[in-house]
Every structure is written in structure tokens, then in C-alpha cells.
Amino acid sequence: MSGDAYALPGLDGPAEIRIDRWGVAHIRAASTLDAFRVQGFNAARDRLWQLDLWRKRGLGLLAADFGPGYLAQDRAVRLYLYRGDMVAEWAAYGPQDTKTIVTAFVDGINAFVELTETRPELRPPEFALTETRPARWLPEDVVRIRSHGLVRNVLSEVARARVLARAETREAGLAADDLRKRLSPPHDPVIPDGLDASDWPDDLLDDFRLATAPVGFTPERMAATREEAWDWTKVDAHGAVTRGNRAIPTEPVEGSNNWVVGPARTQTGRPILASDPHRIYLQPSLRYVVHLTAPGLDVIGAGEPALPGIAIGHNGQAAFSLTIAPMDQEDLFVCEADSADPDRFRYGDGWEPIERVLENIPVRGGPDETVVLGFTRHGPVIREAAGRAFALRTVWSEPGAAAYLGSLAYLGATSPEAFGQALRHWAAPSVNQLYADVTGRIAWFMAGKAPLRLAHDGLLPVPGDGCYDWAGFHEPGALPRRIDPPEGYLATANEMNLPPGYPAEARKLGFEWAEPWRARRIRTVLDGQNRHSLADSRALQGDDVSEPALRLARLLWALPADPDIEAARALLAPFDGSLHENSAAAALIEVFWVRHLRPALLEALVPDAPTRRLLPPGDTQSLIERLEDGLDPAARTILLTETLGAAFRDCRTRMGPNPETWSWGLLHHALFAHPLSALRSDAGWGVGPLPVGGAAASVMHAEYRTDTFQLTHGASFRMVVDVGDWDRSVFINVPGQSGGPGSPHYADLAPVWGRRDHVPMLYGRAAVEAATETIITLSPASA
């Protein structure tokens, strides 16, 4: 067994980190603050490059390390830093001493950073490649950074306004917009007086998209000169910052599944809780699994590497998991600027100033760049044009809205009531939280700051003159919840899950939810299982059935025959909706839909090309319903025949002439590319490609690029918890726990994930010690 020993300033007593064979760090400490301090040290040990990049991106400090090509992104992200009262900020996360916890955590990070200065071999190789050094943290860095949090729906608001602006009538505009995004529950949007997006600038959302974009590295961007700095202001269709063409903005596709099955419906007589958050696929992954043990604390599960504690996991008495609940937490306000003084905007019967803030951004290889940021009572100004200032009102500006940090309040919860009380301190992102405990109780809570909109519904931008202001936030108790339901299970998948009778029109939490496919499939499977098992939950997390694919296939049987159509139908004859990676039918039906039928259907339904460009990828539910019932039968037959034949020939070109050799996994693949891959002469540090089944509509949610079929979003972390027999719990975190390319745990979980499998998530002392491969001992040291 290997190991190291370090002195860690600030420790109250000795501590240790036991690393098991799957890369999970089990931290044992003499106090809870020591546990969080060691958690920070360990996070830096395993993920220092990721942590350092997260901080520099979030604070707008990229140009200092990587040059002028990152100046525009730095300026944009600074618009969204928390700038409010820090006393209120620290107090907002709950009764625990959040500031002290976060301080201990960053002290641990800083201790490892200091260690790398005397032992540079501990520094990840990315720093040498980029000729940079890791920086030290302040506790405030953790909470001031907001632009990585998942809030919504400004991109959709602007898209809807643009669609309506091009329509001849209100009804025609709303019908076209339904093809872009279905509203649920059914709702007639409030169109503010005077709203006209016809002359809004194309770059209106550039700053918002820059601020929320991941950090990318290309030789061209790294070599950008000071004169070229402001060319790097656009974001392409795949989320990359570019100096080329901007893409039409669309809302992110992040989602999640979770379910909890009560003891009356399980084989064991204990609850089973499952969780698989769906986020962008990155190397290293966005989640990190850790086990924290100290007097009064014993939690294991996954969280953001840059935060103390965990958000998904269990505490030995209760388990908890989350998915996104797509509440609407942001609005665009269109402010009329004073023609005589552009630093003022109309508000009420008078004018209010736009606060101008000067900030200096350090730039590698040259002097600082001074930039001007604008702020209104509504929030940061993201664009000024044609006598208007566009300002974003967002929960990011509120105390307590650092993403996921609200989880600190529920780490010790052991009853649904205590868990629900802790969630009163949860602000962002808005979530569906599931709970289960050893007494057999289960619960669902929707949590997050929900704006109180008295004069509008959040579906379109509104004037900033005071008529449409938020009137605070809904009381947390106004959000829906269920405890110990009679059906014996609870499940969420980002779908519209407001309970029957909930006052959706009055409270206006949101009208844009995920499509219903994953939620329907989960409920269908769970409804059919009276004795649900851990194996059943594990299988359901990897379920690849697609209802849209099956419905599309059923439309093809009556098409007129020709050789390609006949061959395509023969391939699809046994298709049961399963998008397995070895399935030729799955490859054909997906190529048919995303490459041929969907764009052709949009063209048929929306002849106006500029409007049509605002709609992709389109709402699958709305499009399939129009295809099934909204087209002239003869026109539909022609459309299906032409596009199916083209798709069959496309597959032949892509995969060879013999359909027996085709498979969905030949096209659909996961590649976990390291952010610096483009700067290396070899292909090192990337993991994959791995053939993968499923698609966006499957429970396993394998969202992909339609040009390369490479996965973009899905479940990089999965967890199934046996509530009460904790050592039977399992997880997966792809491609591995470590961010260090030289670590044995950098990519070891990728093949397991590729098989849709899991590894043990051990909790008991004996089980952890039996699986330990490395022990790192830590002792107190003077600061």
C-alpha cells in the first residue's frame, strides 16, 4: 500500500485520506472544520488544474494567464460576479457557519498550492504546458462566482421575441414558436406593450454567452494580439468562443433523472434512491466523489470540486439527490436610454443612472486593460444599442445564489421535515430534490429562488420602466412537495411536474420544461415493478429506449416501395425503440431524424428562412405531433419517402454498403477531450472514443452533436443508493476521479461507464479499509 505524509497548517488534529481502488477519497478528521480543510487539500491534489481554471474563469482572470484572446470573456464574466452585501451572502446558506467552512476549504486548497511551490513535481502538467502557475484563493472567490450556475431562460426569451417580430400575426408567431419550445402547462404568453425585437442587434446576447461559455484553448486564440482581443466575442453552435460566426443561441440541454422507491415496492424492504445528473461532458468530469468523516459528520457522494461538502449522496441516515427543475430565474429588461444622457434610463416618471464601474483586467505580456461595466437596478447591462440598454435580472445577483452551496444546510438532515427546512436556504440552480431515510420515508421538494412576477410571465423581455419589476420571491413553502406518496415512489426528469391543482398560472414558476420522454419511460418501468431492486435501478439508468424514435419508425410502414425504402423498412422491422450501440436500426432512425427529416419538416412547416433559423433544434414533441396529425397525408408521405431514402443512402456512405455491419455506436460516441488537447502535438490526455447508445430522449440521455455524433451532454455521474445497507450502493464518475493525466484514476472508470455499469460506493469503515490502496496522512503544522 502506497502513501504520503504532509503537514497541513490549521489542522486541529491528525487526519488521513484513504484512496480506494476506484479513486474515491475517504477523509477522516478530528473535527468537521478539519474535514472541510482536508477536502480542499485533497480536491487540489486531484483536480488542481480544474480548480484553478474554474476560479480564473469565474473571476475574469483568464487573460492574465492566457493572453489578450481571453479579454472579452473576462469582461463578460465580471458582469455576473456577486457584488452585494457579504454579510447577507454568508448568512443566506443556512444556520451553519458557511464562511468558516468555506474558509477552511480554501485554506486546504492554498496549502496544496503552496506545497507545489516547493515540490513542483506535484503540480499538474497543464501548468507547464501553458507556462502558468496556480493562484491562491480567497473564501469570497467561492461565492462571488455565479456564471457557472444553471439558470434560465433569457436565451429563450430573446428567441421568442425574435420569432414573434417576424410573424404577420400573434397567432402565427406563437404557432411557429411552439415548434421551437412547447409551453407547459398550456399558457398564453403575456406580450408586453410595445415589444418589438425586429431591430435588436445580432450581438445582443454575446456577453451573456461569453460569460457562460467554458474555457477553450486553440493556438490561434492563445496567440491573439492586443489588437485582435475584441475579435474573440462570439460563441459557436457548440459553445466554443470564436472569432468566426456566432450561432443562434439556444437554452442549454442540461438535465437529470432521479427516483426514489419506497420500502413497500423494493426487494429489500428498504428505500432505493437513484441519481444521474446530466451535464456537459468534460475531462475531468464536473463532479467529484468524496467521503467526509469527523465527529458529527459522515457523508459520501458527489459535489462540485470547487465547493465544500457534497450535493448528492447520503449521511448514513438519509440519502438525497437532485435534478434541475426548470423554473424561470432570469428576465431581460429593455431600458429606454435618455437621448440627452446615455448614462440614464427611464424608470417610472423620471430617469435613473446607469452605474458605470471601471475595472482593470490584467493581461499576459502587457499592461492591464481598463474596461467599463454598466449596472442598473435590474442587473448588469449586457448590451447598449439604438437608444436602449438591455439589462439582465437574475437570481445570480441575490445573496445565497452560489450554485449548489446550499447543500451545506442539509448534510445532517435525517427526516423529510428537516430536509425541507434546510432547502429553504437553497437558491440556485432550481432543483427537484429527492430524499429517503432508514425509517422508510421518502419525499420530493422543488427548491430554488422563484421570482414573483405580478405583471408578466417571464416568457418575453419586458420594459425596464418599473411596470414589470419582480416583487421579490415566492416563499419557499409555496413551491410544490410530496412526502410519502401512496404510489410508493417518486421520480423526476426535468419534466413539467407541477402537481394537479397547483396554481401554475398565478405563481408563474416557469413554462419551459424538458420534453416528457425520459419521465414517461421512468414511470412506465417503475409502475411495472412491484419489487424494485438495485439491479433494476442500475439498468434503468442505462435505459436506451426512445419514444420519439419508435413513433417515427411507425410512420414508415405505408410508404411507397423503392429499393432504398424497402431496405430501410427491412432494417427497421424488428425495431422496438432501443437505441443500443450495436443496433443498425438505431443508427438509421437517428440519422433519419436529425440529419434529414427534422430539417425538412421545419422547412415545410416554416417557409420563412430567417424565422426557421431561430427554431433549431426544435421541440421534438411539437414536431412529431405536427408530423403525425398536422400535415396533409399526401405531403407527409412525400416528405417521409424522400428523407428516409436520403437517410439510408447517408448511412451507406457513413458506415459502408452492407447494413449488417452498421451500428449506432459506429457514429454515436463519447470522447472526453482535455481542454488543452488542441495545444498538444499528440492525442494525449483525451479519453475515448467510446461507442455509446441512447439519445436525448432516452433515460440514459446521450445528447450529441448532429455533425459528428459526438456526445455533448449526459450522465457523467450516476449513483444508486441502498438506503440502510450503504456498502451495497454504487456509482460511476466518468472518465475517472482524478484530473491528473498521470494518475491511475484519470480514465479508469471510462470503460465501466461505457458498459453502463457502476462501481462500489463504500461507506463502512471495514469496507473502506479493505478497498484502500493509498493512505495520505496529514498532521497539524504552524501556518
* Spatial separation of the C-alpha atoms in residues 48 and 160, rounded to whole Å: 41
Q: Is residue 50 predicted with pLDDT exceeding 80?
A: yes
pLDDT at position 561: 84
Single-letter residue type at 84:
G
pLDDT at position 77: 97
Q: What is the mean pLDDT of residues 60-71?
A: 98
572, 574, 578, 579 alpha-carbon torsion, rounded to 10°: -30
Residue for grid cell 426557421: 612
Percent above pLDDT 90 for the chain: 92
Single pTM value for the model = 0.96
Contact 629, 605 (CB under 8 A): no
Q: Pick the closest to residue 59 from 87, 40, 82, 86 (CA basis).
A: 82
Do you find a cis peptide bond into 185, omega within 30 degrees of 0? Answer: yes
Q: Which residues of 540-575 are buried (b: 16+ CB within 10 A; e: fewer)?
A: bbbbbbbbbbbebbebbeebeeeebbeebbebbeeb
Residue for grid cell 440598454: 389
- Terminal CA-to-CA distance of the chain, rounded, Å? 30
DSSP string covering 251-320, please?
----EEEEEEE-GGGBSSSS-EEEEEEEEE--SS-S-EEEEEEETTEEEEEEE-TTSSS-SEEE-SSEEE
Strand, coil or helix: what is 720? strand
Q: Is residue 238 predicted with pLDDT exceeding 90?
A: no
pLDDT at position 783: 47
> What are the Cα distances from residue 766, in Å, to 237, 761, 775?
49, 13, 15
pLDDT at position 683: 59
Collect all residues with Cβ–Cβ distance below 8 Å to 515 and sequence separation of at least 6: 182, 495, 619, 620, 621, 697
Q: Pick the closest to residue 492 from 422, 433, 532 (CA basis).
A: 433
Q: What is the mean pLDDT of residues 730-740?
A: 97
Q: Is residue 282 predicted with pLDDT exceeding 90?
A: no
* Spatial separation of the C-alpha atoms in residues 76 and 233, rounded to whole Å: 9
Three-class DSSP labels, 387-442: CEEEEEEEHHHCCCCCCCHHHHHHCCCCCHHHHHHHHHHCCCCCEEEEEEECCCCE
Q: Is residue 250 predicted with pLDDT exceeding 80?
A: no
User: What are the pLDDT digits (tens) for 7-40?
Assistant: 999 999 999 999 999 999 999 999 999 999 999 9
* Spatial separation of the C-alpha atoms in residues 497 and 502, rounded to whole Å: 10
* Spatial separation of the C-alpha atoms in residues 215 and 571, rounded to whole Å: 42
Higher-confidence residue: 558 or 241? Answer: 241
User: What are the pLDDT digits (tens) for 718-729?
Assistant: 999 999 999 999
pLDDT at position 239: 86
Contact 209, 248 (CB under 8 A): no
User: What are the pLDDT digits (tens) for 471-508?
Assistant: 999 999 999 999 999 999 999 999 999 999 999 999 99
* Spatial separation of the C-alpha atoms in residues 398 and 430, rounded to whole Å: 14
- Segments in 495-608 forming alpha helices (H): 504-507, 517-527, 534-541, 547-554, 563-572, 584-591, 598-605
Q: What is the mean pLDDT of residues 39-59?
A: 98
Contact 245, 235 (CB under 8 A): no
Percent above pLDDT 70 for the chain: 99
pLDDT at position 605: 96
Residue for grid cell 424608470: 347
Neighbours of 486 (CB within 10 A): 7
Dihedral sign for Cα atoms in the order 62, 65, 66, 68: positive
User: What are the pLDDT digits (tens) for 149-178?
Assistant: 878 999 999 999 999 999 999 999 999 999
What distance lies between CA 529 and its chain's CA centroid?
30
* Spatial separation of the C-alpha atoms in residues 47 and 688, rounded to whole Å: 20
Contact 234, 241 (CB under 8 A): yes
> What are the Cα distances from residue 205, in Å, to 111, 246, 260, 283, 359?
39, 10, 39, 27, 21
Q: Which residues of 336-365 are buried (b: 16+ CB within 10 A; e: fewer)?
A: bbbeeeeebbbbeeebbebeeeeeebbbbe
Q: Is residue 1 predicted with pLDDT exceeding 90?
A: no
pLDDT band at 251 (very low <50, low <70, confident <90, very high): low
Residue for grid cell 435613473: 352
Single-letter residue type at 144:
R
User: What are the pLDDT digits (tens) for 533-547?
Assistant: 999 999 999 999 999
User: What are the pLDDT digits (tens) for 132-147?
Assistant: 999 999 999 999 999 8
